[in-house]
Amino acid sequence: MDLGLKNRVALVAASSQGLGLATAEAFAAEGCRVAMCARNDQTLQAAAEAIRKQHKAEVLAEAFDVRDAAAVSRFVAAVANKFGSVDICVTNAGGPPAKGFLAATLEDWQRAIELNFLSTVYFAREVIPHMQRKHWGRIITITSITTKQPVADLVLSNAVRAAVVGLVKSLANEFGKDGILVNNVGPGFTATDRLKELARARSSATGKTEQEIFDAWAAEAPLRRLGEPRELAETVVWLASERASYVTGQTVLVDGGMYKGL
């Protein structure tokens, strides 16, 4: 299937490792020019270089914090300057800490709102004018299964990511006339460093081993295993492609069937 993505410019936020890195790689494999960012410059540049080598792709990589609106603005301008436009923008960031409601501090709430909601606002504000000019664009948010089904001890994610879905639906409604499609992708339990971090937190809270926790998560999904980052990335690439040209305002879960609703 030709996804029609060759030479498109794909910006993937928080892409030095995990789901963001897998997504940047998947766009490069489709012939896109790729823009990457994350906080740690060394890890980020190493990831960018590996993608350049493996896919012969043009890659722009800059280290900054996605909570910094001015840095996001500068980066989007630099991407448009180097590649001529920004066609696809995938928003992503680290996840908030695993905590119950009374354990979460006001600072935790503030940080989660900045990291997991406002960072998406910052990127959307900057990329939409570029997409409007070309009458073509894709904004895809990487959030979580928590946008459909709350997960125990992830109250920060359960609450804050719902705002992202409200934003996604609003942007899809407002900018569909400009050829901009906006969708949300919610991973279930996927084998990345973030999942190891969650397993450690749950292990110290329950006394179970990390392996027991991974096994229990895998058992929650009808597919009886954790997801691979590549599986999430390929769904994002499909949503960005010409093959998903009538899909907007949706949340697509990549969760092995873990979501229990209809």
Compute the distance between CA of residue 207 and CA of residue 260 in angstroms, rounded to an integer.
Answer: 27
User: What mask of x and - would describe binding to ligand NAD in positions 86 to 115, judged by CB under 6 A?
Assistant: ------xxxx-------------------x
Which of these ranges, 51-59, 74-82, 138-146, 175-183, lies near ligand NAD under the rule CB under 6 A? Answer: 138-146
Pairing mode, if any, of strands 137-142 and 180-187?
parallel
- Among 52, 194, 208, 243, contact with ligand NAD (rule: CB under 6 A): 194
DSSP conformation class of 223: T
Pairing mode, if any, of strands 59-63 and 137-142?
unpaired
- What's the min distance (Å) between Cβ of 83 and ligand NAD? 20
The reply on whether position 236 binds ligand NAD by CB under 6 A is no
Compute the distance between CA of residue 71 and CA of residue 73 in angstroms, rounded to an integer.
Answer: 5
Largest CA distance in the chain: 55
| Tokens read off for 94 | 């680290």
Residues 17-36 that bind ligand NAD (CB under 6 A): 17-20
Compute the distance between CA of residue 37 and CA of residue 48 in angstroms, rounded to an integer.
Answer: 9
Residues 62-91 that bind ligand NAD (CB under 6 A): 65-67
Which residue's CB is nearer to ligand NAD, number 14 or number 165?
A: 14
Residue in the structure block whose two tokens are 């906080």? 39
| Tokens read off for 25 | 């790689």
- Among 3, 29, 39, 179, contact with ligand NAD (rule: CB under 6 A): 39
H or E stretch covering 27: helix 18-29
What is the torsional sign of CA 104, 109, 111, 116?
A: positive
Which residue's CB is nearer to ligand NAD, number 20 or number 137?
A: 20
- What's the min distance (Å) between Cβ of 108 and ligand NAD? 14
- What's the min distance (Å) between Cβ of 142 and ligand NAD? 5
Which residue's CB is nearer to ligand NAD, number 65 or number 234?
A: 65
- What's the min distance (Å) between Cβ of 39 and ligand NAD? 5
Neighbours of 228 (CB within 10 A): 14
Residues that bind ligand NAD (CB under 6 A): 14-20, 38-40, 65-67, 92-95, 115, 142, 144-145, 187, 189-190, 192-195
